[in-house]
Chains A and B, each alone.
Chain A
Amino acid sequence: MALPQTKMDATQTRIAALAMPQSGAWAREARAAGLARLEKMGLPGPRDEYWRFTRPDSLNAVEAPEAALFKGSDTPDFGDLDRLTLVFRDGVFDADMSDDLSLEGVEIQRLADAAAQDIHWAKDLYGVLEARAHDPVNRPFAALNSAFATDGFVLRATGKVSKPLHFRYLHEKTDSDAILHFVVRVEEGADLTLLESGPAAARFNSCLEVDIADRSAFHHVRTQGRDHERRSVTHLFARLGEDSSFKSFTLTANGRLTRNEAFLELTGDNASAHIAGAAMGDGEFHHDDTVFITHDAVNCESRQVYKKVLKNGAIGTFQGKILVKPGAQKTDGYQISQSLLLDEDAQFLAKPELEIYADDVACSHGSTSGAIDEEALFYLRSRGVPVAEAQDLLVLAFLAEAIDEIEDDLIADDIRLRLEGWLTRHRG
């Protein structure tokens, strides 16, 4: 179907303003394919089914809208957890600020270096998982990312990686526009933990493609920075093999606009995919989780746990789907999306969906929106807990189910600490 003229014009205007980086043959083809997909689907418009709750204008715009830098002290992300850190400044990798790129059990290569090679394993993944993710819903910013990503890394884990890899995204210019693309291959039997933190840029488009081989595990925890004015659209695409496991948790505090998309495909039997998020918004905050999980194998399990705490006009949206394909018997799918509205001005919009084509499955989904439980608040106060502290305790209790999805206790504690800090700063 041909695109409407306005959409085509907007898409072409955007494309004209972008430059495709020089690459070797395989990457050049992959980028061209991404561009072709983008041209075919066009940038999103407000009438698109999955863009009704979130206005795409600022993501579509040729120039990144300005975003003030975050002021105020920020404790380092993930505390003093032992890890290998790669630093990006407004979307550009900075080798001097980063750790030495050698870590046992994983090959780390900058995207440009991988792209310059004639033959590379990443060819089978770069833009490939992205391309699979457009059925049934287009993700034009992901296609744009595959075509125009300016930096990124390709990682291949071949064993149990001794410590987490950490991508640290610094935002230093008020008008920066970053497009980063990462490809991760977790080989059979390997185990990798990837951490991401920071706002990255005034406008950030990221695409993370993860191929999780049979009997391997991938853990992912990210914090999206405390900048109030930043805008981000992120994509997490994963394909899971037999007996593999995937776990991802995202903490979003502040941000003018965040759209976190995920598309997870369980293609091998007995695989397990958990994805969770906690979002905290006060004032000008729009946060959107759009998550699709496709079960295409037997005896797999998936969990989506999303919690949002909103006040003072903040808006949270959730669009989540579990698709169980024919033959994906014994599927165990769970999806919960909840918001805690701390005042009358906050808003939560949810669109939970189940689509099931197998007859022996257990799938459940729920979505709720509520205020602080006054009974519980009185109970806590009657025991001497001051009202603000009691309220924070109840907010953390509300978020607990999402935070519990973080496997590493140290990281979970760090996330809890950040949440407590946010709550203390946003009282009243």
Chain B
Amino acid sequence: MLKINNLHVKLEEEDKVILKGVDLDVPAGAVHAIMGPNGSGKSTLSYVLSGRDGYDVTDGTATLEGEDLLEMETEERAAAGLFLAFQYPVEIPGVGNMTFLRTALNAQRKARGQDEMSAADFLKLVRERAKALKIDADMLKRPVNVGFSGGEKKRNEILQMAMLEPRMCILDETDSGLDVDAMRLVSEGVNALRDEGRAFLVITHYQRLLDHIRPDVVHIMADGRIVKSGGPELALEVENNGYADILAEVA
């Protein structure tokens, strides 16, 4: 599904190299996790994949089902099936959550040559998906993320994911700022979307999210590279011993 090969990235504004040759292959149906200390480049990887300004790709490739992601505009990547759940979801005063969801859904359908979804079908779908995430009518009516608590913002990200049904979901520190109950809700939302044809890349600092969203593969990222990959037990090792041992081992 997602193939990253020797990806090198530097900041556009300054001569700072962040990613120094990332290799990653996430097949359809799989859940991969990326863990790593602060500043290792995890969030940068998610931004570069989604097409955020401010980064220069100096070498390497990133493809989604064989399509070159790096050549596409941000909205084209979304229409191709890439979704980034933001670490800090953005507040948009004046744009209703429903309007936002419908505009996004129909824009993607249009880009894929599909008909727009009717208002009635959309309403039915959004109510059903929102209910599972305990998102009430009021949250749907309010402007996007405005006045939402940390947990509400993250649930809203998962709702967008559930509505847009992407093939490749990247979750950037979705567990940050969540209490235990919210983490369970969010994880259940993610797990409900696990599917043969869909892949997940879960970026996190902590092992606890991976108790809820069980990964197939865990990668450790440090200094702009994947330094070690393994099964779920690797996450437990990090939890128990920290990153120091692993980093010493690969150094």
Contact = CB atoms under 8 A, between A and B. Distances in A.
Given A397-B95, A401-B94, A387 B164 contact: no
A397 B78 contact: no
Interface centre among A379, A382, A394, A401 (most CB of B within 10 A): A382
A384 B104 contact: yes
Contacts of B22: none
A398 B52 CA distance: 23
Given A384-B111, A394-B92, A389 B103 contact: yes
B169 to A, nearest CB: 12
Interface residues of A, number: 24
A106 to B, nearest CB: 36
B92 A382 contact: no
Interface in B163-196: 164
A397 B104 CA distance: 16
A380 B73 contact: no
B107 A384 contact: yes
Given A381-B75, A382-B50, A384-B164, A389 B107 contact: yes
Nearest to A375: B90
A381 B78 contact: yes
Contacts of A3: none
Contact of A397 (B75, B83, B92, B105): B92
Nearest to B166: A384
In this complex, the interface size class of chain B, counting residues with CB under 8 Å from chain A, is 20 to 34
Nearest to A401: B94
Interface in A372-428: 373-376, 378-387, 389-390, 393-394, 396-401
A383 B164 contact: yes
Q: Residue among A373, A381, A387 with the most chain B CB within 10 A? A: A381
Contacts of A374: 53
Contact of A379 (B77, B89, B94, B107): B89
B170 to A, nearest CB: 10
A183 B92 CA distance: 42
B45 interface: no
A393 B103 contact: yes
A387 B105 CA distance: 15
Contact of A385 (B52, B75, B143): B75
A384 B94 contact: no
A378 B90 CA distance: 9
Main secondary structure of the interface of A (DSSP, over half): helix
Contact of B103 (A379, A385, A401): A385
Contact of A381 (B74, B89, B100, B160): B74
Contacts of B122: none
Interface string B80-121: 000110100111111100011001110110010000000000
Contacts of A379: 86, 89-90, 92
A373 B111 CA distance: 24
B221 interface: no
Given A379-B92, A394-B92, A384 B53 contact: no
Contacts of A390: 75
A30 B21 CA distance: 83
Contact of A376 (B74, B78, B92, B164): B92
A383 B108 CA distance: 8
B233 to A, nearest CB: 33
Contacts of A393: 95, 99-100, 103
B73 A384 contact: no
Contact of B75 (A375, A386, A400, A401): A386
B30 interface: no
Interface in B48-85: 50-53, 73-75, 77-79, 83-84
23 contacts: A376-B90, A379-B89, A379-B90, A379-B92, A380-B103, A380-B104, A381-B51, A381-B73, A382-B83, A383-B100, A383-B104, A383-B160, A384-B105, A384-B108, A385-B75, A385-B103, A386-B75, A390-B75, A393-B99, A393-B100, A396-B94, A396-B95, A397-B143
Given A383-B107, A397-B94, 9 more contacts: A379-B89, A381-B78, A382-B83, A383-B164, A384-B75, A385-B75, A386-B111, A393-B99, A394-B92
Closest 10 CB pairs of A and B: A397-B94, A384-B78, A383-B104, A384-B108, A379-B90, A400-B94, A381-B74, A397-B95, A381-B75, A384-B107
